[in-house]
């Protein structure tokens, strides 16, 4: 029913969630027989999943049964009282530090992910915007080089689909790019055989599995714990290992574990936005460059990046909450009894706590 209003990839995600978390536990029941207890029991398994999965299942349960109620299939909505919050809170990704970004670029130099990382760090484009980027939207020989975001990428049965329908209307934007990215793009354009900035060997946009293989170059060089399988007497034995920083892979010695942190495509964009804020760019400009439709998203990042540094805020806080007594004359410190403004003078020399006590006594 909602397929006319959402992206195919979103619909695919909803379908998978419905099959696994709604149809699987309740699919053999009539909707009129489903009770609130049945739904609560189904949500027990969901509560052990991530917050995002819990929220999605919650919304879908309520939407499905609300629609049934609205259509007269059921009288009451058994999903109405599902708790809004649940699931396992995820670890929020932090932006890369300058040292981490430099190390990532140095490690990925001359490897497939390098161009993607450069575009993400220095233009802040989303993954689907980078993979859909074509050379006709990259303007390098103008006074102010920039990238026009006009297309988006998604995968349909592992086939790349390029569309002009962006995530939101705000995603359509022109992003100025720095010289370091201009130089990399100009060099790449000279040897490119494709209309796409990032393409496979045939000049076609990457499929989902192709992009995963590209991104694997980063994961293979990180010290993140991983599972390996060894065959002993024909039996597969699973073992978890955590590589040491600076060591080499035993099977492939050209791979060095140089990254002691993990990276996601979205983290590159988050780093770009955070760097803009740290440089003093105003929130509305950041919102435009990031392609955020809702200013709340921008302001949430802005608040965390701008107002989460105690050292920088100490001066502001001390000034705002200064409890030192104001400089007043001797006459003001002890005005004569009967003076019409005696109460005001006394309050000026009081602390906030004493002033509050006086107010309550009054």
State how many domains the chain has: 3
Residue 315 has pLDDT above 50, yes or no: yes
109 and 202, same domain (yes or no) = yes
Residue 346 has pLDDT above 60, yes or no: no
Average pLDDT of span 258-283: 91
The C-alpha atoms of residue 220 and residue 255 are separated, in whole angstroms, by 8
The C-alpha atoms of residue 82 and residue 125 are separated, in whole angstroms, by 36
Residue 347 has pLDDT above 60, yes or no: no
What is the biggest distance separating any 2 CA atoms in the chain, rounded to whole angstroms? 103
Q: What does the block give as tokens for 88? A: 């396992």
146 and 45, same domain (yes or no) = no
Which of these, 24, 2, 28, lies nearest to 14 by C-alpha position?
A: 2
pLDDT tens sequence across 220-255: 999 988 887 777 777 878 878 888 898 888 778 888
Which of these, 180, 172, 197, 185, lies nearest to 289 by C-alpha position?
A: 172
Domain membership flag for residue 26: yes
The C-alpha atoms of residue 47 and residue 39 are separated, in whole angstroms, by 12
Residues of the domain holding 335: 330-361
Residue 362 has pLDDT above 50, yes or no: no
Domain membership flag for residue 246: no
108 and 197, same domain (yes or no) = yes
pLDDT tens sequence across 107-154: 999 999 999 999 999 999 999 999 999 999 999 999 999 999 999 998
105 and 54, same domain (yes or no) = no
Boundary of a domain, candidates 241, 260, 275: 241
Q: What does the block give as tokens for 324? A: 């030192």
102 and 15, same domain (yes or no) = no
173 and 104, same domain (yes or no) = yes
124 and 26, same domain (yes or no) = no
CATH code for the domain of 145: 1.10.443
Boundary of a domain, candidates 53, 70, 87: 70
Q: What is the pLDDT of residue 296?
A: 81
Provide the CB-side half-sphere exposure for 278 (13 A, CA). 13
Mean pLDDT of the chain: 84
146 and 194, same domain (yes or no) = yes
Boundary of a domain, candidates 241, 267, 296: 241
Residue 328 has pLDDT above 80, yes or no: no
Residue 295 has pLDDT above 90, yes or no: no
Provide the percentage of residues in the chain whose pLDDT is more than 70. 85
Q: Which residue has the higher pLDDT, 57 or 12?
A: 57
Domain membership flag for residue 351: yes
107 and 201, same domain (yes or no) = yes
Provide the CB-side half-sphere exposure for 188 (13 A, CA). 24
Domain membership flag for residue 116: yes
Provide the percentage of residues in the chain whose pLDDT is more than 90. 52
Domain membership flag for residue 273: no
120 and 231, same domain (yes or no) = yes
183 and 230, same domain (yes or no) = yes
Residue 205 has pLDDT above 90, yes or no: yes
CB atoms within 10 A of CB 356: 11
Q: What is the pLDDT of residue 326?
A: 47
Q: Which residue has the higher pLDDT, 179 or 311?
A: 179
- Residue found under tokens 């195919």: 8
E-strand spans in the chain?
A: 138-139, 146-149, 152-156, 159-163, 173-176, 226-232, 235-241
Long-range contacts of 164-167 (CB under 8 A, 24+ apart): 165/7, 166/129, 166/291, 167/126, 167/128, 167/291
Q: What is the pLDDT of residue 337?
A: 54
Domain membership flag for residue 64: yes
Residue 257 has pLDDT above 80, yes or no: yes
116 and 55, same domain (yes or no) = no
Domain membership flag for residue 277: no
The C-alpha atoms of residue 118 and residue 96 are separated, in whole angstroms, by 13
pLDDT tens sequence across 66-110: 999 999 999 988 988 888 888 888 777 788 999 999 999 999 999
Domain membership flag for residue 313: no
């Amino acid at each position: 029913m909602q397929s006319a209003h959402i992206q195919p990839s979103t619909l695919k995600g909803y379908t998978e969630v419905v099959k696994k978390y709604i149809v699987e536990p309740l699919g053999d029941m009539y909707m009129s027989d489903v009770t609130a207890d049945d739904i609560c029991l189904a949500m027990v398994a969901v509560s052990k999943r991530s917050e995002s999965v819990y929220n999605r299942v919650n919304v879908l349960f309520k939407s499905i049964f609300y629609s049934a109620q609205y259509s007269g299939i059921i009288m009451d909505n058994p999903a109405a009282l599902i708790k809004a919050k649940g699931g396992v809170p995820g670890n929020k990704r932090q932006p890369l530090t300058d040292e981490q970004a430099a190390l990532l670029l140095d490690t990925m130099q001359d490897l497939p992910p390098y161009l993607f990382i450069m575009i993400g760090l220095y233009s802040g484009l989303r993954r689907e915007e980078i993979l859909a980027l074509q050379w006709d939207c990259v303007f390098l020989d103008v006074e102010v080089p920039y990238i026009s975001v006009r297309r988006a990428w998604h995968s349909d049965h592992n086939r790349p689909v390029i569309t002009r329908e962006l995530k939101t209307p705000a995603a359509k934007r022109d992003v100025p790019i720095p010289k370091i990215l201009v130089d990399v793009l100009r060099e790449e354009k000279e040897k490119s055989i494709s209309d796409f900035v990032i393409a496979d060997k045939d000049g076609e946009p990457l499929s989902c599995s192709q992009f995963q293989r590209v991104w694997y170059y980063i994961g293979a060089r990180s010290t993140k714990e991983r599972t390996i399988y060894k065959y002993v007497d024909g039996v597969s034995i699973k073992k978890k290992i955590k590589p040491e920083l600076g060591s080499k892979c035993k099977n492939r010695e050209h791979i060095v574990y140089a990254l002691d942190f993990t990276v996601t495509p979205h983290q590159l964009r988050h780093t770009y936005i955070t760097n803009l804020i740290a440089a003093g760019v105003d929130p509305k400009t950041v919102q435009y460059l990031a392609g955020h439709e809702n200013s709340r998203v921008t302001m949430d990042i802005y608040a965390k990046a701008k107002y989460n540094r105690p050292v920088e805020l100490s001066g502001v806080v001390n000034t705002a909450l200064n409890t030192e007594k104001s400089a007043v004359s001797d006459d003001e410190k002890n005005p004569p009894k009967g003076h019409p403004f005696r109460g005001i003078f006394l309050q000026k020399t009081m602390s906030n706590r004493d002033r509050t006590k006086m107010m309550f006594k009054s």
